[in-house]
Structures are given as structure tokens and as C-alpha cells.
């Protein structure tokens, strides 16, 4: 009952135009004042405990690193790098977009940042090369979903904070699913592009130019590899790796690419502060939400009710997948992780699903929500770039979103796709 009341209040506040973070806090305060007013004294303490986490130190560092790389002009160099990577299959800008998203996602850890940075450059160029606007936009938003899955992943850090699972293990758990999404999308893009004639004519290869482009881009491309490997092999913590990545980005920006200025660094800091502040506000109020649910033993009750259903395990897993997909269309990623993980985690564990597998299922499911109306943050970012209605963008993204759904089903029923790499790295479940 408490969950219904809280969600009802949350929806009611959101519908009247109150920002999501404030709506979460307002729904919790309203419930506390109505049922147990004395608990309001715990409000400041719970907010502080929810925001203060050593694991979360990594989040602003990863965001800052991504902003620095954007200011360093990484995007254009990344696109040039990817042009040569897809050349053996005579790939066009559609394939370049997907490969660039795979690499950029590993740098920024954010799907929204991926859509914003790559979309502003690639969508106009794709349209010039003959791609219909909805196709160009659709490929951009769909491929950006890999930013949430391929390590380093900001949502995985948040998931780690709640579950207690190792950040490094979760990063490794997302590696295979993220790559699978990229490979499947590349296959679909190749088939559609070949059929529609989007592939460019094969030009003579300039070996000298190719070599210089690859070498020039390599320092930026290998950065996420160094960062993830340092975490996975226990050399650094996630927070320490974030600090190293920031230092590395500053060196690249000032001394290698020589595009970074003090003014650009201040601009990146400002964007990081705004992004981090908005996320921390959501985290703080979501902590109250989950605290109330836990105090009333809602997760345990829901898990017991679910497990009492006389259904095969595969059916229950499929229902949970559908539930995540449904909720992801209405709730943004950060609050969804914070509010739903405590409810779904006991159910998943009861079904024999490891935290690593659950992390992969949850993040990929929520990533699909970024490109589905009505919330669809990536759709809205893309709308600001090309002015196209989000419904048309969603239609253009549909063939590629199906790839995400296929991977979601694969990791749901083949746990080794998420557990094999962490186990190989020496992590213990």
C-alpha cells in the first residue's frame, strides 16, 4: 500500500510541473506528515547519508573527464578514427556513428552526453550524405544507449552504491552486453544502408593520412581502456581512476591536442557541477523514498508475493524484464535505479540472479527507456539538435532498439554473458 501511495503522490506532483527531484522529496514529506510526523526529524539525516558516499566520488570525476574531452575537440578526431575502422566493410556514416558511440560511451559513461556531442556533429553530416533525417537521428539516439553499459558507466556506479557490488566487477559485467549491442546494431545498420544505398563509393586509401589520423587519435581512444583495466585489476579504486582520468584528460587537452584553455576548463567545471548537483539532489530525495519502503518492509513483501506465484522461473524473469522496460519509459535512469533497485533486488536474488547479471539487465532495460517516449532523455536532446518530433526520432531508432531488446533477453537467460568476464578477472560473486 505504501508503495502505491508514494508512487501516486510522485505522479501527482510531477503532473503539475514540479521537477522530478522535488516531486520525490515532496511525496515522501507528505506521506511522513500524514502517517508518522515524528519521522520528519530523520529527514536531514537520511538526505545526508544518501548523498555522502565514497563510491559516488567517482561520478563527478567521470563527468568532468567527459566534459574535458569534449572541450578538447575529441569528437571530430573520434569520428575520423572511426571512418577508417569501418572502411574495410565499406561502411558509411551510420556505421561510423555506432562505432563512435561505442568508444565515446567508454569515455563519457553517459548516453545523454553521447547523443549531444556526436549528434550535433554527425546528424547534419549524415543528412548531407543522403540519410533521411529520422534515420540519422534514430541511429544516433539508439547507439548512444551503449554509453550507459560499456564501462566506465555512471549508472553502474549508482547501482554499486545501493547493492554493495564491486564497481570494477559491474564494469566488467557490462562489457560483453555493451559490445553485443554495438555489434548487432552494426549488422542492422549495414543491411539497411546497403539496401538503401547509404554506403559511399570506395575511394583510394591515403595510407599516410590514415596512419597520422589513427596515431593522433590513439591517446584519447585508449584512455577508457587504461581506466577500466586499472579498476578491474585492483590497481586503483573507481574514484582514484576517475582522478587519474581527469589528469590524463588535462595533459591531452593542453599538451597533446593543444585545444584546451583555462576558459574551457572552467566551462567544463561549471557543466560538471550542474550535472553532479542535479544527480545528487535526486539521490538525496530518492534515499528517503527507499528508506520509507525498507522501513515498511515493502521489498520483502513484494519479493514474497512475487515468489508465491505459481510460474516457471523463465516466466518471472520475462515479467521483470517487461516491468523494467515499462518503468523506463516513464522514470529517468537515476531515480529508477535508486528507487527500484531495493524493491527488485530481493526478487532477483530469490530467483538466483547475481548482482552482476541484475546490473546488466537493469541498466540495459533502463537504457532502452532513454530512446522511448514519453520521457526519453536522448530523444529530447536529439530534438533540440534537429528540431524533429520525438515520435519520428523514435520510429527511426526502432530497428536498432530491437537490438537492445535482443541483448536484454540474451543476458536474462544466459547469465554467463554478464558473469564470465568478472569471474575471469578474479572477482567473486
% residues pLDDT > 70 (the chain): 91
**pLDDT reported for residue 321:** 93
Closest CA to 268 of 253, 285, 284: 253
pLDDT of 9 > 90? The answer is no
Is the dihedral angle over the CA atoms 279, 284, 286, 290 positive or is it negative? positive
Angstrom CA distances, 243 to 63, 81, 154, 251, stand at: 11, 26, 15, 13
Q: To the nearest whole number, what is the mean pLDDT of the chain?
A: 82
- Candidate ranges 54-58, 81-85, 163-167; pick with highest mean pLDDT: 163-167
Q: Is 260 helix (H, G, I), strand (E, B) or coil?
A: coil
Angle at alpha carbon of residue 118, lines to 114 and 120, rounded to 5°: 120
**pLDDT reported for residue 177:** 95
% residues pLDDT > 90 (the chain): 22
Is the dihedral angle over the CA atoms 191, 195, 196, 202 positive or is it negative? positive
- Candidate ranges 32-36, 51-55, 92-96; pick with highest mean pLDDT: 92-96
From 83-87, 107-111, 390-394, the region with the lowest mean pLDDT: 107-111
Under the banding of pLDDT at 50, 70 and 90, the label for residue 174 is very high
Q: What is the mean pLDDT of residues 294-304?
A: 73
Under the banding of pLDDT at 50, 70 and 90, the label for residue 413 is very high
Task: Give the tens place of pLDDT for each residue, 126-155.
Answer: 888 888 989 999 999 999 888 888 887 888
CA of residue 282 relative to chain centroid, distance: 16
pLDDT of 51 > 70? The answer is no
DSSP 8-state class, residue 142: H
Joined grid coordinates for residue 128? 548531407
CB-count burial class (<10 Å; 0-12, 13-18, 19+) for 54: exposed
How far apart, in whole angstroms, are the C-alpha atoms of residue 114 and residue 141? 8
Joined grid coordinates for residue 177? 552486453
Q: Which residues contact 166 (CB under 8 A, 6 or more apart)?
A: 160, 422, 427
How far apart, in whole angstroms, are the C-alpha atoms of residue 328 and residue 140? 19
**pLDDT reported for residue 240:** 84
Angstrom CA distances, 94 to 108, 254, 353, stand at: 20, 31, 36
How far apart, in whole angstroms, are the C-alpha atoms of residue 234 and residue 218? 24
pLDDT of 47 > 90? The answer is no
DSSP 8-state class, residue 329: T
How far apart, in whole angstroms, are the C-alpha atoms of residue 180 and residue 36? 49
How far apart, in whole angstroms, are the C-alpha atoms of residue 394 and residue 103? 23
Joined grid coordinates for residue 413? 537467460
Amino acid at each position: 500500500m505504501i508503495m502505491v501511495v508514494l508512487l501516486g503522490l510522485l505522479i501527482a506532483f510531477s503532473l503539475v510541473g514540479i521537477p522530478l527531484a522535488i516531486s520525490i522529496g515532496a511525496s515522501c514529506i507528505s506521506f511522513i506528515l500524514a502517517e508518522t510526523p515524528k519521522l520528519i526529524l530523520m529527514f536531514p539525516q537520511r538526505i545526508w547519508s544518501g548523498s555522502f558516499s565514497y563510491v559516488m566520488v567517482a561520478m563527478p570525476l567521470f563527468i568532468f573527464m567527459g566534459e574535458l574531452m569534449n572541450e578538447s575537440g575529441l569528437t571530430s578526431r573520434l569520428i575520423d578514427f572511426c571512418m577508417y575502422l569501418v572502411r574495410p566493410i565499406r561502411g558509411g556514416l551510420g556505421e561510423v556513428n555506432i562505432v563512435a558511440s561505442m568508444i565515446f560511451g567508454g569515455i563519457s559513461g553517459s548516453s545523454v552526453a553521447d547523443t549531444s556531442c556526436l549528434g550535433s556533429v554527425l546528424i547534419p553530416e549524415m543528412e548531407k550524405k543522403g540519410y533521411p533525417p529520422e534515420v540519422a537521428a534514430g541511429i544516433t539516439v539508439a547507439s548512444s544507449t551503449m554509453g550507459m553499459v560499456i564501462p566506465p558507466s555512471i549508472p553502474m556506479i549508482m547501482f554499486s552504491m545501493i547493492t554493495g557490488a564491486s564497481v570494477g566487477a559491474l564494469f566488467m559485467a557490462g562489457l560483453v552486453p555493451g559490445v553485443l549491442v554495438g555489434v548487432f546494431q552494426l549488422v542492422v545498420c549495414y543491411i539497411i544502408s546497403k539496401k538503401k544505398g547509404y554506403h559511399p563509393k570506395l575511394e583510394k586509401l591515403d595510407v599516410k593520412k590514415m596512419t597520422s589520423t589513427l596515431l593522433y587519435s590513439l591517446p584519447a581512444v585508449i584512455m577508457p581502456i587504461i581506466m577500466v583495466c586499472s579498476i578491474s585489476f585492483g590497481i586503483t579504486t573507481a574514484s582514484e581512476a576517475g582522478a587519474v582520468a581527469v589528469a590524463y584528460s588535462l595533459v591531452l587537452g593542453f599538451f597533446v591536442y593543444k585545444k584546451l584553455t583555462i576558459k574551457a576548463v572552467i566551462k567544463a567545471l561549471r557543466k560538471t557541477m550542474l550535472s553532479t548537483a542535479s544527480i545528487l539532489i535526486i539521490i538525496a530525495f530518492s534515499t528517503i523514498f527507499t528508506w520509507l519502503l525498507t522501513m515498511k518492509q515493502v521489498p520483502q513483501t513484494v519479493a514474497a508475493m512475487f515468489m508465491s506465484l505459481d510460474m516457471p522461473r523463465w516466466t518471472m524473469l520475462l515479467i521483470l524484464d517487461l516491468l523494467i522496460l515499462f518503468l523506463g519509459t516513464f522514470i529517468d535512469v537515476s531515480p529508477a535505479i535508486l528507487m527500484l533497485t531495493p524493491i527488485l533486488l530481493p526478487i532477483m536474488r530469490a530467483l538466483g540472479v547475481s548482482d552482476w547479471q541484475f546490473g546488466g539487465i537493469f541498466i540495459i532495460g533502463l537504457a532502452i527507456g532513454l530512446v522511448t517516449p514519453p520521457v526519453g532523455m536522448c530523444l529530447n536532446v536529439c530534438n533540440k539538435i534537429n528540431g524533429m518530433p520525438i515520435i519520428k526520432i523514435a520510429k527511426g531508432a526502432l530497428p536498432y532498439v530491437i537490438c537492445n531488446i535482443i541483448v536484454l533477453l540474451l543476458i536474462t537467460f544466459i547469465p554467463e554473458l554478464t558473469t564470465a568476464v568478472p569471474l575471469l578477472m578474479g572477482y567473486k560473486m
